[in-house]
């Protein structure tokens, strides 16, 4: 994960009802660094897919932490939540393959009771 402080951070209830807020924030931040419409849409889908992996494991009524790092032509997003029994996604699973296809890189990390998925996309990447 990135050691520098994030450029933006968003905390939301770990509930799929709030994913539209996260997708909108992701798109807005990507537009700031001049991502194309296709790059923005791919990143929004990737963030949505990361949350689809994460939210079923999240402790009810917990918080989804979303951190954003903006580069010249790269955006990194880390989404994490407290989980009862955090399990990283299967790298051969469909959801992980979607993430890998839409991003420059994607990683998962279990830290005690937290699962964090980090993904990065470079502008102009053609999956």
Domain for residue 2, yes or no?
A: no
Please give the backbone phi and psi of residue 54, each rounded to the nearest 5 degrees, phi first: -80, -45
- Report whether 64 contacts 12 (CB < 8 A): yes
Q: Which domain holds residue 115?
A: 8-122
pLDDT at position 32 is 92
Q: At residue 50, does pLDDT exceed 70?
A: yes
Q: At residue 1, does pLDDT exceed 60?
A: no
- Report whether 58 contacts 82 (CB < 8 A): yes
| pLDDT digit string, tens, across residues 5-37 | 999 999 999 999 999 999 999 999 999 998 999
| pLDDT digit string, tens, across residues 84-107 | 999 999 888 888 999 999 999 999
pLDDT at position 127 is 52
CATH number at residue 116: 3.30.565.10
Domain for residue 3, yes or no?
A: no
Domain for residue 84, yes or no?
A: yes
Domain for residue 24, yes or no?
A: yes
* Structural domain count of the chain: 1
């Amino acid at each position: 994960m990135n050691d520098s402080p994030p450029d933006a951070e968003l905390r939301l209830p770990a509930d799929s009802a709030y994913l539209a807020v996260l997708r909108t924030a992701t798109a807005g931040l990507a537009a700031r660094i001049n991502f194309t419409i296709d790059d923005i849409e791919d990143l929004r889908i990737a963030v949505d897919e990361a949350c689809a992996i994460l939210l079923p494991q999240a402790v009810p009524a917990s918080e989804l932490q979303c951190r954003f790092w903006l580069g010249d032509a790269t955006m990194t997003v880390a989404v994490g939540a407290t989980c009862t029994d955090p399990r990283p996604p299967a790298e051969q699973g469909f959801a992980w393959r979607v993430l890998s296809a839409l991003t420059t890189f994607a990683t998962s990390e279990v830290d005690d009771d937290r699962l964090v998925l980090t993904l990065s996309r470079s502008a102009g990447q053609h999956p």
